[in-house]
Amino acid sequence: MSPYNRRLPVYLLLDCSESMVGDAFSALNSNLSKMISDLKQDPHNLETVAISIITFSVNARQVIPLTDLYSFQIPKLTLGSGTALGAALKLLEQCIDREIVKTSAERKGDYKPICFILTDGEPTDKWENIADQFKQQISKKRSEVIAVAFGPDIDTNKLHRISDTVFVVKNADTTTFSEFFKLVSASISTASQKIETVGYRAIDPSSIPNEVVISTLEDRRDFPIMDRFIFLHTRCSRDKKFYITKYEKKHIQGGMHAFQGIGSYALDSFDIGTEHIASPLKVSTELLFDSKPCPYCGNKLYAICKCGGIHCCPESKKEVTLSLTCPWCNQTDTYGFSSGGLDISRGAG
C-alpha cells in the first residue's frame, strides 16, 4: 500500500440563526476559538485531526472545508434568519462524499468522521425526509453523529430522527458553552490518541458535565413554547446600519400574550435572505411593548416604511409628522403616529 497520513475528520455543524443573537453567539465564537487553540496544543491532534465548519441559518454553507488542524484558521461566523437544518444535513452528506478519502486496495483511507450538530431552535426548512435519509446513510453507517440541543426551544424527538446520540445543554449561556466545548475538545483529543489501538467513542458518557444531559426517545420532555422569542430586522435611520430587536413572549390577563422587548443587537454582518421585508411571518405592533432603543443612535421609537422596512425613529409629539429617509429603500417620506396596530414582518428565528 502507498503511504497516506490518515486523518480523523471532524465536522462541526453550527446553528447561526438569529435566535442565537447576543450572549449565546458571543459564547459560541469565543469557545470555538478556544477549542481550536486547545486542540493545537496536542501533537497527536496536529498529526491526525482535520476540521470542517458548516453553518446554517437562512441557508447552509461550508465556511471551512476539511482542513488539517495545523493549518486551520478560525472563520468569522455570520448570523442569519431561519434554521435550515435540512439543507445543512444535505450539505454535510455531500462534503463527506467529496472530502473523505476512502480505503482502497492501494491504501487505507481516513478514519470514520465525527460530526457534531449544534442547534438551539426549530428547523424552518423541509428537513424531515432529508433527516430520515441522513440517519440511515450517514449516522448508522459512515459517521459518528452527535446532535446537541442548546436551550429549551427544541423538540429533541426531531434530533433523534438525525442520530441516536442526542445531548441537551440546559442553558445556552457562556459557562455552559465553555463546559460543552471542553467536552468536545477532550473527546477529539482522546479519539486522535487511541483510534489506532482501541478505536474510539465520540463522547465518553463519564466525562459529561452536569449542564449536559443525554436524551433518549423515552424522554417526555416538554414541547418548546411556540414563538418564545420573535425578532425584528431593523436599521438605524441615522447610520443605516443593521440591528436585531428581540422580544420575549409574556402572558397577560385573560390568557392572552404579548411580546416584551429584551434587547437590541448591533450586527456588522447578517445573512438576511431575500424575504426580509416580504416575509410571510408577521406580528402586530399592538402585541409589542417595551421596545429597546437603537444600539447605534439611541432612538427609542421605530417606524415602518411603505416598503415594509423597519427602522428607528426620533421621538416627537404625536400631532407632529416627521420627514424621514428609509435606510432600506432610501426613499424620503412623511411619517405620523399610527392610531392602531400594523402587521409587520418578523424574522424566521
Q: Are residues 163 and 233 in the same domain?
A: no
- Do the Cβ atoms of 258 and 252 come closer than 8 Å? yes
The Cβ of residue 302 has, within 10 Å, a number of other Cβ atoms equal to 21
d(CA 286, CA 267): 26
pLDDT band at 222 (very low <50, low <70, confident <90, very high): low
Residue 253 grid coordinates: 390577563
Structural domain includes residue 103: yes
pLDDT at 176: 78
> What's the DSSP call for residue 195?
H
- What would the DSSP string read from start to end of 59-117? SEEEEEEEEEGGG--PPPP--BSS--HHHHHHHHHHHHHHHSPPP-SS---PPPPEEEE
Tell me what pLDDT residue 202 has.
59
Same-domain check for residues 178 and 239: no
pTM of the complete model beyond 0.85: yes
> Are both 109 and 150 inside the same structural domain?
yes
Q: What are the grid coordinates assigned to 217, written together? A: 426517545
Helix (H) or strand (E) holding 229: strand 229-235
Task: Determine the residue type at 73.
Answer: Q
Looking at the structure, tell me whether residues 88 and 198 fall in a common domain: yes
**223 pLDDT exceeds 90?**
no
Does residue 220 sit within a domain? no
Let me know whether 83 and 148 are in one domain.
Answer: yes
β-partners of residue 61 are 55
The CATH number given to whatever domain includes residue 145 is: 3.40.50.410
Per-residue pLDDT reduced to its tens digit, 92-118: 999 999 999 998 888 889 999 999 999
For 73-77, 242-246, 256-260, 320-324, which range has the lowest pLDDT when averaged over its residues? 320-324
User: What's the CA gap between 12 and 94, in Å, rounded?
Assistant: 14
Q: Do 341 and 279 share a structural domain?
A: yes
No. of H helices and E strands in the chain? 6, 17
End position of a domain, from candidates 193, 215, 237: 215
How many folded domains does the chain comprise?
2
Average pLDDT, the chain: 87
Query: Do 253 and 204 fall into the same domain?
Result: no
C-alpha cell at 285: 405592533
Confidence at residue 277, expressed as pLDDT on a 0 to 100 scale: 47
What's the mean pLDDT in 11-18? Answer: 96
Give the percent of the chain with pLDDT over 70. 87
List beta partners, residue 260: 248, 289
Res 199 pLDDT > 60: no
Is 223 inside any structural domain? Answer: no
Of 251, 231, 235, the residue nearest 243 (C-alpha): 235
Q: How far is CA 209 from the centre of its chain?
A: 22
Please, are residues 322 and 316 in contact by the beta-carbon 8 Å criterion? yes
